[in-house]
Amino acid sequence: MVLKAPSDAAVRPTAVRARRALFDSLGDLSGKHVCDLFSGTGAIGFESASRGAASVLLVEAAQQSLAAIRANQKKIAPHCPDCTFNVICGRLPECAGRLAAFPAPDLLFADPPYAESAELLDGLLREAAFRTWTGDALLIWELPDTAFQLKVFPEPWKIRTLKSFGGTRFLFIGKA
């Protein structure tokens, strides 16, 4: 299914090949609560729903992207009747405190603006509300094509692994 994308160039959906390989590696998501941070078109969240997720929370700050997400949700929802979708308008990490109103995630995906990727990851991992809400969830962070350097991971976070799918690199992060 072709998803609607905002007309601005700021949105860069994860390549279909990379997304498919990533999800194939994760297996069945039945009953899982998933959060798609920096949602863009919502493609990652909607892929989660198509693979059995019980709920998908999409977080996005850009109004054009939110309009695309809502349009895409209308197309996808009938195909995923057992999934609950929620959309939050907000910029991370500032809106992290609002996430606690939703089920704690099992899995989080993040495909942030590449230019701010390291700064946004550091800010989220240091945000107390985010750390509490995420529990033992696995965070999968899409890395920029350029050099990415986060010098120190704040406790209790640690890198679990780095995987590459379809030329796209993903950092798997969990708690110690």
Report how far apart, in Å, the C-alpha atoms of 2 and of each of 5, 41, 64, 151 are.
9, 11, 17, 38
pLDDT tens, N- to C-terminus, the chain (176 residues): 677 777 765 666 777 889 999 999 999 999 999 999 999 999 999 999 999 999 999 999 999 999 999 999 999 999 999 999 999 999 999 999 999 999 999 999 999 988 899 899 999 999 999 999 999 999 999 998 777 776 678 899 999 999 999 889 999 999 97
pLDDT of residue 14: 78
Scan for tokens 């965070």, then name that residue: 139
* 3-class DSSP assignment, residue 97: helix
Residue 10 in any domain: the answer is no
pLDDT of residue 8: 64
Residue 9 in any domain: the answer is no
> For residue 63, what are the domain limits?
16-21+30-113+123-148+164-175
pLDDT of residue 90: 96
Residue 171 in any domain: the answer is yes
Read off the pTM: 0.92
Q: What CATH number has the domain bearing residue 77?
A: 3.40.50.150
Number of domains in the chain: 1
